[in-house]
Amino acid sequence: MPRHGTSAGQGEGAWVLKGTRVPVRDLFENLEGGAMVEQFLEWFPGVTREQALAVLKCDEPPLAESAA
């Protein structure tokens, strides 16, 4: 089951966390800014921990790439 989708009414089809209007980009920007996942979840209560972790897992490089 996908944890993200697109929203045609927001940012020309920006990727959003499924069932929310929270752009996936916001998750990455907050984490890059030093926030922890738990903080992000507090700030965006419509997002579940499962959704956030699924998006982060999709962004992980394959093991073969990281070992090179």
The CATH number of the domain where 19 resides is what? 1.10.10.10
Does any domain span residue 64? Answer: no
Does any domain span residue 68? Answer: no
- 12 burial class (0-12, 13-18, 19+ CB within 10 angstroms)? exposed
Predicted local confidence at residue 59, as pLDDT: 78
User: What number is the average pLDDT over the span 9-21?
Assistant: 79
Count of the separate structural domains present in the chain: 1
Of 2-11, 14-23, 45-54, 59-68, which range is least confident? 2-11
Residue span of the structural domain in which 41 resides: 4-59
- 26 burial class (0-12, 13-18, 19+ CB within 10 angstroms)? middle
Does any domain span residue 66? Answer: no
User: What number is the average pLDDT over the span 18-40?
Assistant: 95
Does any domain span residue 51? Answer: yes
The pTM of the full predicted model, rounded to 2 decimals, is 0.71
